Amino acid sequence: MGRFQALFLALVISLIAFNQNHVGANFSKSMYFTWGAQHSYFSADGENVQLVLDKSSGITISAPGFSQKDRSSSAASKSTCWILFDTIMAQLSSKGDRHDEIDFEFLGNVSGQPYIIHTNVYTEGKGNREVQFHPWFNPTADFHNYTIHWNPHEIVWFVDGLPIRVFRNYELEGVPFPNKQGMMVYSSLWNADNWATRGGKDKIDWISSPFVAKFQRFRARACKWDGPISISQCASISQANWWTSQVYSKLSYAQMGQMKWVQDHYMIYDYCKDTTGRFYGKIPLECSKQQF
Q: Tens digit of pLDDT for each residue in 74-131?
A: 343 332 223 334 455 566 777 777 889 999 988 877 767 788 899 999 998 999 999 9
Mean pLDDT for the chain? 78
Residue 238 has pLDDT above 80, yes or no: yes
To the query of whether residue 171 is one of the catalytic residues in this protein, the response is no
Q: What spatial distance separates the first Cα and last Cα of the chain, rounded to whole Å?
A: 37
Q: Measure the CA dihedral 158/140/104/205, to 10°.
A: 160
Instruction: Give residue 257's pLDDT.
Output: 98
Q: Which of 47, 101, 124, 171 is catalytic?
A: 101
Q: Whole domain around residue 206: which residue ranges? A: 5-225+249-288
Q: Specify the pTM.
A: 0.85
The answer to the question of residue 160 being in a domain is yes
Q: Any idea what the CATH number is for the domain that residue 283 is in?
A: 2.60.120.200
Over residues 37-61, the mean pLDDT reads: 80
The answer to the question of residue 233 being in a domain is no
Instruction: Give residue 83's pLDDT.
Output: 34
Instruction: Give residue 7's pLDDT.
Output: 62
Q: Which of 94, 38, 37 is nearest to 61 (CA)?
A: 37
Q: Which of 105, 154, 171, 286 is catalytic?
A: 105
- DSSP H helix total and E strand total for the chain: 3, 16
The answer to the question of residue 95 being in a domain is yes
Instruction: Give residue 66's pLDDT.
Output: 53
Over residues 224-239, the mean pLDDT reads: 86
The answer to the question of residue 237 being in a domain is no
Q: Rounded to whole angstroms, how far apart are CA atoms 50 and 276? A: 39
The answer to the question of residue 241 being in a domain is no
The answer to the question of residue 234 being in a domain is no
Residue type, 81: C
Q: Which of 59, 47, 65 is nearest to 87 (CA)?
A: 59
59 or 278: whose pLDDT is higher?
A: 278
The answer to the question of residue 281 being in a domain is yes
Q: Which of 48, 102, 94 is nearest to 70 (CA)?
A: 102
Domain count of the fold of the chain: 1
To the query of whether residue 124 is one of the catalytic residues in this protein, the response is no
The answer to the question of residue 125 being in a domain is yes
